[in-house]
Amino acid sequence: MSITTIKRRASRTLSSRPIRVSLLVLLALAPWLYLIKLLQLASLAGNRIAASHFDSLSTTQRCQQNPFRSPGYLNTSLSSNETDYEHNRWIPFASNCSTPSLLPLVRGREPLPWLQNRAIVLFGSSVDRWHLVYFCELAHGTVEIIQPSHPLSPLQLPPDFLQPGERIVPGAQPHICRVEEYNLMLVFVFHYGLEEEDHWRKVKIGRPEERHWTPPGSFEARLSHLLLPLLSNLNISISSIDLIEVSSYEWDLAYWQQASRYRNSGAERHLQDGHETFLPFYVRRLQEVAEVLINTFPRRHPQQMPILWRVPHVSGRNDPAPRFAKAMERATRFVFAEGGSLSQSFELDETGAILEGGGQSSWMGDHTHPAKYPHAVVWSDYVLWRLRKSITGEV
């Protein structure tokens, strides 16, 4: 119906009295209809707010949901005196909000029924391995590296598994941490990010003795050939895993840098190039592996025990590409956004992000890995808090 048709019809209808009355009624209703429209718009906005649900909560609600995400600051003590470690805390600004300090209870071997007989699984990079190793030091547990010769090793190497120049790298092998008194076990398996073409087999970085790559290459293959068989060897059934944390960032960042360097013959000033191919690829792969994880680790109560996804942190020292990192953080937040379908099964671990904006250089253990103090203390408290929340509902 064109505007002129409407006008013509209107002028025709205005001539008859009953219709003039109904027009008056309509005019009287107009503010209400306008209000209804406004309310509809408001409810649409409400949907948008649901997408960043956490930000819309009151200070108290935010603290109740996750004190580690409540705005605050990092209190640090970089003293190497072990007794000072407790000062490394995330302190929310809100007066009634605090992050629980659970590590001292574990170190003191206090009775903690929620920690008894638990299994925590980490699937990620060396940053996650550092988490496990530092946690184990702080919690006075024991770390074991599952070398291929270890009876629990899942790695059954076929003869042609390693090509000339490739070797088994200890750091890339699974690590486990046991805290006997609680029958608590943390299991770490390493992966090389989301690339799909065995990129790191072809692109050998560093001196041969520093080369890091050990097959299998892909996220999915390492999940099914390393992590799952290892869990089975450890008698940890999928349904008995209490907490899973996954990440994919550091090797993806390296992949992006490598790929763009190739395209641009090594010119540093072109390092930013390639974002238009890399970032959509990264988002697609994050979505793919998220589905794989949901199917591999079906959660009985996903809201209560989501899979944790570690948010990329922009490291403070010598990071050649902080803007790459920021872009990848945005991609991660997009994929796992609150209100999205994946947020039913995943929750973001923000402990890397809270390292930003402070005395970063001293907070990093090297150019990639956050240090034991303050980071690993905060991460350990966070993971213990998240586990306790899953088991008991307590925040």
Nearer to ligand NAG, 119 or 293 (CB): 119
| Binding segment toward ligand NAG, per CB under 6 A, in 90-98, 137-145, 307-315, 323-331 | 90-98
- Burial class of residue 80 (count of CB atoms within 10 Å of its CB; 0-12, 13-18, 19+): exposed
| String of contacts with ligand NAG for each residue 164-183, x by CB under 6 A | --------------------
Choosing from 11, 15, 83, 239, the residue that interacts with ligand NAG (CB under 6 A) is 83
Give the footprint of ligand NAG on residues 301-330 (CB under 6 A): none
**What is the per-residue DSSP string for 224-267?**
IIIIHHHHHHTT--GGG--EEEE---HHHHHHHHHHHHHHTTT-
Q: How many residues does the chain have?
A: 395
Nearer to ligand NAG, 57 or 234 (CB): 234
**What is the Cα gyration radius of the chain?**
27
Type of residue at 28: A
294 binds ligand NAG (CB under 6 A): no
87 binds ligand NAG (CB under 6 A): yes
Nearer to ligand NAG, 200 or 385 (CB): 385
Terminal-residue alpha carbon distance, the chain: 59
Three-state secondary-structure class, residue 349: strand
Containing H/E element for 52? none
95 binds ligand NAG (CB under 6 A): yes
CA atoms within 13 A on the CB side of 278: 23
Choosing from 234, 279, 292, 337, the residue that interacts with ligand NAG (CB under 6 A) is 234
Cα–Cα distance measured from residue 217 to residue 213, given in angstroms and rounded to the nearest whole number: 8
279 binds ligand NAG (CB under 6 A): no
Tokens of residue 36, six digits? 């209804």
| Binding segment toward ligand NAG, per CB under 6 A, in 49-57, 72-80, 220-228, 361-369 | 72-80
Q: How many residues bind ligand NAG (CB under 6 A)?
A: 12
Q: Which residues bind ligand NAG (CB under 6 A)?
A: 75-77, 81, 83, 87, 89, 91, 95-96, 234-235
